C-alpha cells in the first residue's frame, strides 16, 4: 500500500529547493549578462532560441515571452537544426543556446556551425566551463546544486533556472525598448489581458439597448422599460441629460413598501446624481468604478454629457475582463 504521508513534505521541499536555486541566480548576474542584453537590443535581427530535450521546452516558452514583449524571436530545435533547420538563422540573428550540461552531442555539432555563419551565441548553461560555455560569446550561468528530483536526475530545478534567466533577459529588453501597456495590447488583442488595455466603454455598449424614461413617466412605464431593455436599469433623462437612475432593485424596494403605485412617477423613486462614465473611458475603468461603488451597471455619457447607454457587469464578464 502506498504511503501518502510524505506528499505535503515532498511538495514543500520541491518548492524550497527550486526557490533557493532561483534566488542564487542573482549572484550570477554580471557585466556578461549586461553585455548580452545590450547585444540583443542593438541587433538588427531576431533572437533564435535553441535547445534539446527539456531545454527545448524551456526555449519555446522563452521565445513566447520575447515575442509578446517586443523582441522578435524564433524557436529552433537543436536536433532539427543540424538536419536542415539551420537555414532559418539569418545573418543578423542572435542565437541563444540552452543546455544544462553544455556538452550534449547536438550542441557540440551546432555551435561551430552557427559561429561559422558569423552569428553571435548566448549560452544559458549550468556549466560555464562546458563546450557551450567556452565557445559562446556570452555565457549566462544557471548552475544549480541539485535537481528537485530525489534521484537528482529529472530536469526540475535546472529547467526552472533556465526559464527565469530567459525572463530576466526579456524584462531587461522590455525596459530598454520602453515597451508600454499599449504596446502589450497590440500583441495580445484577443486575450483578456489585452482587452483590459484597449477595450473602451463605447465598445461595450455598441449593441446594448438604451433604456430611458422622463421624470414624469409612470412607474408602470418605468417597469416596462427596464423589463424590455433587459439591463436591470433605466436612466431618467431630460433634454438628453441624466437627472436620475432607477434600478430593478429600486422597483422591488418600492413594492415592499406599497402596492399602490398608480400615483407614482419616475421622479418619486429615482436616485439622483447616479454614477456615470464617459464613452471613451477604458472598460477596465468601468469595472473599477462598479467594484468601488458596489453596483452592477453604470450609465454612459458622451463628451457633451449626453446620455448614450448603459454598461452592465455582464458585458465585462462576456469580454473576459471580470
Nearest alpha carbon to residue 285 among 273, 300, 272, 270: 300
DSSP string of 65-109, one letter each residue: HHHHTT--EEEEEHHHHTTTGGGG--TT-EEEEEESSS--HHHHH
- The DSSP output letter for 282 is B
Burial label, 294 (beta-carbon count in 10 A; 0-12, 13-18, 19+): exposed
CA distances from 152 to 65, 141, 147, 231 (A): 28, 19, 5, 59
- Maximum C-alpha span of the chain: 91
77 annotated among ligand-binding-site residues: yes
The whole-angstrom separation of Cα 58 and Cα 151 is 21
CB 224 within 8 A of CB 202: no
- Alpha helices per DSSP H over the chain: 7-25, 31-42, 54-68, 78-81, 105-116, 131-135, 157-176, 181-187, 192-198, 201-205, 219-229, 248-257, 266-269, 283-293, 313-318
Per the annotation, where are the binding residues?
A: 77
Per the annotation, where are the binding residues for Zn(2+)?
A: 77
Amino acid at each position: 500500500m502506498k504511503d501518502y504521508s510524505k506528499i505535503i513534505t515532498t511538495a514543500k521541499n520541491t518548492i524550497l529547493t527550486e526557490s533557493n536555486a532561483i534566488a542564487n541566480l542573482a549572484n550570477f548576474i554580471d557585466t556578461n549578462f549586461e553585455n548580452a542584453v545590450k547585444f540583443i537590443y542593438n541587433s538588427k535581427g531576431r533572437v533564435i532560441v535553441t535547445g534539446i530535450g527539456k531545454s527545448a521546452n524551456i526555449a519555446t516558452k522563452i521565445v513566447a515571452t520575447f515575442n509578446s514583449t517586443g523582441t522578435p524571436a524564433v524557436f529552433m530545435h537543436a536536433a532539427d537544426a543540424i538536419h536542415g533547420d539551420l537555414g532559418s538563422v539569418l545573418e543578423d540573428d542572435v542565437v541563444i543556446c540552452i543546455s544544462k550540461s553544455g556538452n550534449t552531442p547536438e550542441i557540440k555539432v551546432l555551435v561551430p556551425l552557427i559561429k561559422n555563419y558569423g552569428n553571435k551565441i548566448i549560452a544559458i548553461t549550468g556549466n560555464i566551463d562546458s563546450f557551450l560555455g567556452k565557445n559562446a560569446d556570452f555565457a549566462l550561468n544557471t548552475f544549480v546544486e541539485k535537481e528537485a528530483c530525489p534521484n537528482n536526475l529529472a530536469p526540475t530545478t535546472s529547467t526552472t533556472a533556465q526559464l527565469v534567466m530567459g525572463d530576466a533577459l526579456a524584462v531587461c529588453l522590455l525596459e530598454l525598448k520602453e515597451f508600454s501597456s499599449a504596446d502589450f495590447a497590440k500583441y495580445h488583442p484577443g486575450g483578456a489581458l489585452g482587452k483590459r488595455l484597449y477595450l473602451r466603454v463605447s465598445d461595450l455598449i455598441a449593441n446594448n439597448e438604451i433604456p430611458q424614461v422622463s421624470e414624469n413617466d409612470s412607474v408602470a412605464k418605468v417597469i416596462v422599460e427596464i423589463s424590455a431593455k433587459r439591463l436591470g436599469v433605466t436612466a431618467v433623462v431630460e433634454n438628453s441629460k441624466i437627472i436620475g437612475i432607477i434600478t430593478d432593485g429600486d422597483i422591488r424596494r418600492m413594492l415592499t413598501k406599497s402596492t399602490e403605485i398608480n400615483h407614482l412617477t419616475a421622479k418619486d423613486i429615482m436616485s439622483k446624481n447616479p454614477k456615470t462614465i464617459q464613452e471613451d473611458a477604458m472598460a477596465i475603468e468601468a469595472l473599477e468604478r462598479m467594484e468601488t461603488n458596489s453596483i452592477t451597471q453604470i450609465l454612459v455619457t458622451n463628451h457633451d454629457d449626453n446620455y448614450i447607454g448603459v454598461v452592465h457587469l455582464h458585458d465585462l464578464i462576456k469580454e473576459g475582463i471580470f
